[in-house]
Structure 1
Amino acid sequence: MKHPDDSGTAHGGTAQEGAAHEGTGVRETTTPVDARAGSFAALGLPEAVLRTLDEQGMRDPFPIQAATLPDALRGRDVLGRGRTGSGKTLAFGLPLLTRTAGRRAEPKQPLALVLVPTRELAQQVTQALAPYAEALRLRMATVVGGMSIGRQIAALRQGAEVVVATPGRLHDLVERNACRLGRVRITVLDEADQMCDLGFLPQVTEVLAQVRPEGQRMLFSATLDGDVDQLVRDHLHDPVVHSVDPAEGSVATMEHHVLVVHGPDRYAVTTEIAARDGRVLLFLETKHAVDQLTRHLRAHGVQAGALHSGKSQPQRTRTLAQFKEGRITALVATDVAARGLHIDDLDLVVNVDPPADPKDYVHRAGRTARAGESGRVVTLVASGGRRETVRMLTGAGIRATVTTVRSGEAELTRITGAQAPSGVPLDGGPAAPRPKNTNAPFRGLGTTKGTPRATGGRPSRKAGEARKLAEARRAAQVRRSG
C-alpha cells in the first residue's frame, strides 16, 4: 500500500470556505445534515475496508464521515463537530486505520493513538474498529483503568499498531515505561470536551507533547468550546473544520418532554416508566441514588441494572452487555453513561434528576435518536423546579413540551409507555405490596392515592392510630343510633 509521507500531515492545502470558528482562527465548513457522498467507495478507501463496510451493513456514509474522510485520508489535521451518535467513530477510525496499514509496531511503541474520556467509550471504539483493523491486519490494544494493567502491559509488549486509551491509564503506563509515544504518527481526541470537563487536560497536553510533533491530529467532539479551543490552537496544524449538526443537538427525530410531578409521587412515576415495555435509560446525579433506585425497581419486578464509576469494570461491562441484549430493560446510571454509549433502538431517556448544565442535557439526550432513529427525552421535575429546568433547556437550544402528570394516569403512559410493574421481586424477599382495589392506580412503594406515606411506603403509626380512633367513634355512633 502506498503511504502518505511520514510527517503525517499535508500542509499547504487550501482550507475550505466557511465561517471562522470562534477562538481557533480556523475556517469552518458546515455540511447539511442530509448530505451524502453517495458511497464509501467514492471516498477512496481500500478494498479491504470497503468489503468490511459491506459485511457490517454500512452502505452510505453519514454526513460527518462524508465531510471529513477525504481530508483525513490526505493526512490533514481535522476538527470535527457532530452530534453524538452521528458516526464520528468511523469518521476518524477509517482514515487512522487506512493510513497505518502496512506498518508494524515495535514492542511498546504504537503508531496510532485514540484518546477517549471513559472506559465504556474506549471499549466501544475498539469494538467498532476491530473488524476494519482485522481486515487491514492491524493489532489493537485497549488501555483503560479498572482492568488488569499487567495484561495491558503484555499487549503493548507484544506490539500494537493502534492503542485506544483513557488518559489516566495511559499516563500510568508511560510512567512505568511500558508505553512509548514517540512513534505515534496519528493521534485522535474523541469527546475532547468531556476529557477537559473531567480534568484530563494536563494528561492530554502531556500526551500531545510526546507524540510526533509533525504527526496528524484529529479532534472530534459534539461541542467545541473552553479548553478545547486551547487544545486546537496549541496542537493542531492548520486544521480543516467540519460541523455537520447544530451544536445544541436538538434534532427533528427527538422529542423533549418536561413532566411536572408531585414530590411524593416521583418514585411511583419513575417506577411505572421503568416498567414499560422496551428499554429505558434513567439518569440520576449520585452513585448512592442510582443504587437505591435500582434496588427499588428490582424489588418491584423491573429488570434494572446500575451503572456508575463505583462499579468495577467487569461489572460495568456485564451490565452494559445485558442492557444491549435486552436482559436488563432499565439501565439506571450517573453521567458516566452520558457520553459515547451506543445502544441500538433505545427510544427513551429519562432524567430522574435534571442536569444543571445544558451540555450535560445534550449528551444525556444523545443516547437516543441515534443514527437518524427517533427518540424521546423526558425530564422529571417538581413544580418548584420547573422554571429552572426550562431555563436550562433554553440554554441547550431545546423547547420541550411541559405536562403535569401523576402515576397511573393515561397521559403518563401516552408519553412514556409507563405501566404498573409486576411487583414480583427479582432478588428474593416478599412481593411488593399492591393496592387492594384493582381499579386504583399504582402509587409505588405499596401505597394508594390518599394513603399517608412513611418510610418504605407503609402507613405511619400515627396515621394508624388516628384511623383506629375514627373507627371506634363510628362504632359508638352506630351503637347510640341503634
Structure 2
Amino acid sequence: MSSFTDLGVPTELAEVLAGLGVTSPFPIQAATLPDSLAGRDVLGRGRTGSGKTYAFVLPVVARLAGSRTPRRPGRPRALILAPTRELATQIDATLAPLAAKLGLRTLTIFGGVGPNPQIRGLKAGVDIVVACPGRLEDHLRSGHASLDAVEITVLDEADHMADLGFLPVVRRLMDATPRDGQRMLFSATLDGGVDVLVKRFMNRPVTHHVDAADEAPVEMSHHVLHVRHDDRFPVLVDLVAAPGRTVVFTRTKRRAKTLTRQLIAAGVPAVELHGNLAQNARNRNLSAFSDGSAETLVATDIAARGIHVDDVALVIHADPPVEHKAYLHRSGRTARAGAQGTVITLMTDDQQGDVRDLTRKAGIKPTTSKARPGDALLAQLAPGERTFTAPSAPAPVSDEAGRPSGGSRRGHGRGRPAGAREQAPAAGDKSGGRPPKGRSAQQSRTGASGGQPRSAASAGQPRARRSGGGAGSTPVHTSQSGGAAAFSSGSRLGRRGGR
C-alpha cells in the first residue's frame, strides 16, 4: 500500500499525520492526491466517512505553501465551502495542525455567531478560509472580503449544499474567484445540481469514484426492530444505555428536544442537536458528546451530513426518514473509516410499508425482528452492561438561545431530577467543552474533527454512571410530559419536519 509521501504529500505534512495516528491513505485519498497535488481540477465521489477531508486539505496546504504568495488583508488564498457550521468547524480542526506546520493561517466563517471576530481575522490576513456560503457572501457585500486572490477552491458535501438550496449563492461565490484557479469538488453523489457546478466551474476535471453512490458500507449491519407503539421508548432506552456512543435521529426539532428530556429523565445522559440551537449551544453539546460527558446524541438530519465523532458504535432511527438518501447519510455516522457499526430502525405496525420501500431504495437488506423491552436481542445488538445515571442535576443540553434554563449548574453527564418541572434542559457551565480528566486535549480535538479517525479503543468502554442493571434491562420511565406515550405519538413516516 502507498504511503502519503509516495503519493506526493510533503514530508512535513506526513509527519504531522503520523503524530495524529494517520499513517495509511484511504482509497479516496490514494485516488485523488496525485492529481490534486499536481494542480488539476478534481471531482471526487465518496460516501460519508470515506476520508474526503484529508483528500482536499492536504493539497490545499501543500500547494499554498509551495506558491509562497504573501497574505494580504481581506484576500484569502484558498476557499473551502461547506454546507453547515459543524462541518466547517470540523474541517478547520483537521486543517489547523497541517497549516500551522507550514506557517499558514486559517479562519472559519459562518452564521449564528457575531461577525466582528471574522471581520478582524480577514483584516489581519488569512491564507485559508473555511466558510458557509451565506455569511461569506455577507462579508463580500460589505467589502470586508474579496475572493480575487483565491488560488484553490474546494466544495465539500456539494450535493448537500444543493439539497439545502445553496446553489445560487455558491455560484455567485465561485464567479468571484479567478477562473484559472484550481477547483476541487467532493460529494457523496454527483447528480442534479452538482453536475451544474461541475460543467460551469471546473476545467477538465479528473473524476474519481471510490464506491457506489447509493451503497452502504459493508462494515455496517442493518436491523429493523418491529415494536409496539408503547414499547418504542423502553426499547430505545435499553439500546442507548449500553456502553459506547449512540446517535439517535428524529424527524423534527421538537421531537429531538422532547426525546432528549425523556432520556435524561430515564437516567441516560443525552444531548440534542438541531436547527433551533444557537451556535454556542451546538458547540457545547457536540463537545459533551465527543468528550464522553454524554454518550447519546439526539439529532435531526442536521447531523446526518458532515458531523464526525470517533467511535460511534450505534445509529438508531427513532423516526424512520422519509428519503433513502437521508437513511444512508444518517447511518453514515457509524462504520466510518473502516470501523464496524450497527444501524437500527424502530418500526411500528403502520410504518411497515414505508420502511420496506425505504430500505429497498437504499439498497440494503436489513434483518427484521420483533422486539419487546428486555429481549435478549437488544443485548446482542448493543452489548454491554446497561447503566443509568442517578438523576440529581440538569444534563448538558441547551435551550434554543443557548442559555441555562434551570437554576442549578450541571455536572458532566448527570441526569435531570426525576420530578423536575418540564422545561428546556440546562447548559452553560464553563467546563462543558473541556476534556475530562485523563483525556488529552489532542484526543478531544481529534475525536471531534472531520478528519481520519483514530483507533476505536474507547468504543467498548463502559459509561461511568452511578447505578446499573444487567444487560437488556430496561428502566421504568416516568415523565411529566407523557413519557413513552409522548415519544410514540406524532411519529408516522412521511410527515416532514424542520432541521
Distance 2:341 2:193 in 1: 31
Query: What's the secondary structure of 1:305's corresponding residue?
Result: strand
Q: Tell me the CA shift for residue 139 of structure 1.
A: 0.4
* Identical columns (%): 46
Query: What's the secondary structure of 1:360's corresponding residue?
Result: helix
Counterpart of 2:345 in structure 1 is: 379
Q: Tell me the CA shift for residue 45 of structure 1.
A: 1.9
Contact 1:82 1:88 in 2 (8 A): yes
Correspondence list, 1:60-99, <5 A: 60-99=24-63
Distance 1:418 1:277 in 2: 6
Distance 2:474 2:285 in 1: 28
Counterpart of 1:227 in structure 2 is: 193
Q: Does 1:128 align with 2:160?
A: no
Read off the aligned partner of 1:74 and give its amino acid letter: A
Counterpart of 2:305 in structure 1 is: 339
Flag the 1:355–1:45 CA change in 2: closer, same or farther, 3 A.
Answer: same
Distance 2:332 2:70 in 1: 37
Read off the aligned partner of 1:100 and give its amino acid letter: L
Distance 1:134 1:49 in 2: 10
Contact 1:300 1:421 in 2 (8 A): no
Q: Does 1:429 align with 2:417?
A: yes
Distance 1:185 1:66 in 2: 23
Distance 1:44 1:454 in 2: 58
Flag the 1:292–1:421 CA change in 2: closer, same or farther, 3 A.
Answer: farther
Q: Tell me the CA shift for residue 420 of structure 1.
A: 6.0
Read off the aligned partner of 1:81 and give its amino acid letter: R
Distance 1:454 1:217 in 2: 51
Distance 2:164 2:268 in 1: 32
Select 1:445's aligned residue among 466, 477, 488: 477
Query: What's the secondary structure of 1:199's corresponding residue?
Result: coil
Distance 2:75 2:38 in 1: 24
Query: What's the secondary structure of 2:312's corresponding residue?
Result: coil
State the aligned residue count: 412
Distance 1:100 1:212 in 2: 15
Read off the aligned partner of 2:417 and give its amino acid letter: G
Read off the aligned partner of 1:138 and give its amino acid letter: L
Q: Tell me the CA shift for residue 160 of structure 1.
A: 0.5
Q: Give the greater-gyration-radius structure (CA).
A: 1
Correspondence list, 1:339-378, <5 A: 339-378=305-344
Read off the aligned partner of 1:429 and give its amino acid letter: P
Which 5+ residue runs of structure 2 have no aligned equivalent? 395-415, 421-469, 486-499
Query: What's the secondary structure of 2:6's corresponding residue?
Result: helix
Flag the 1:371–1:441 CA change in 2: closer, same or farther, 3 A.
Answer: closer
Residue-by-residue CA offset, 1:23-70 (whole Å, 9 max, x unaligned):
xxxxxxxxxxxxx4x111111222221221222222111111110001
Distance 1:41 1:94 in 2: 11
Flag the 1:405–1:168 CA change in 2: closer, same or farther, 3 A.
Answer: same
Contact 1:358 1:396 in 2 (8 A): yes
Read off the aligned partner of 2:344 and give its amino acid letter: V
Contact 1:424 1:431 in 2 (8 A): no
Contact 1:88 1:220 in 2 (8 A): yes
Flag the 1:315–1:300 CA change in 2: closer, same or farther, 3 A.
Answer: same
Distance 2:205 2:371 in 1: 49
Residue-by-residue CA offset, 1:282-310 (whole Å, 9 max, x unaligned):
00011110110111111111110011111
Query: What's the secondary structure of 1:40's corresponding residue?
Result: coil
Contact 1:408 1:419 in 2 (8 A): no
Correspondence list, 1:60-209, <5 A: 60-101=24-65, 102-209=68-175
Which 5+ residue runs of structure 1 have no aligned equivalent? 1-35, 433-437, 448-452, 459-482
TM-score normalised by the chain length of structure 2: 0.79
Counterpart of 2:373 in structure 1 is: 407
Q: Tell me the CA shift for residue 423 of structure 1.
A: 6.9
Distance 2:175 2:249 in 1: 36
Distance 1:95 1:422 in 2: 46
Read off the aligned partner of 2:259 and give its amino acid letter: L
Query: What's the C-alpha RMSD, in Å, of the aligned pairs?
Result: 2.2
Distance 1:422 1:191 in 2: 37
Flag the 1:67–1:442 CA change in 2: closer, same or farther, 3 A.
Answer: closer
Q: Does 1:42 align with 2:74?
A: no
Contact 2:109 2:129 in 1 (8 A): yes
Q: Does 1:312 align with 2:344?
A: no
Contact 2:265 2:477 in 1 (8 A): no
Query: What's the secondary structure of 2:111's corresponding residue?
Result: coil
Flag the 1:211–1:225 CA change in 2: closer, same or farther, 3 A.
Answer: same
Query: What's the secondary structure of 1:231's corresponding residue?
Result: helix
Counterpart of 1:295 in structure 2 is: 261
Select 1:210's aligned residue among 176, 194, 197: 176
Flag the 1:408–1:205 CA change in 2: closer, same or farther, 3 A.
Answer: same
Flag the 1:430–1:85 CA change in 2: closer, same or farther, 3 A.
Answer: closer
Flag the 1:371–1:133 CA change in 2: closer, same or farther, 3 A.
Answer: same
Distance 1:406 1:221 in 2: 39
Query: What's the secondary structure of 1:413's corresponding residue?
Result: helix
Counterpart of 1:274 in structure 2 is: 240
Residue-by-residue CA offset, 1:375-421 (whole Å, 9 max, x unaligned):
01111111221221121111111111111111121112222348766
Give the ranges of 4+ consecutive aligned residues of structure 1 lying more than 6 Å apart after TM superposition: none
Contact 2:318 2:346 in 1 (8 A): yes
Contact 1:355 1:361 in 2 (8 A): yes
Contact 1:408 1:420 in 2 (8 A): no
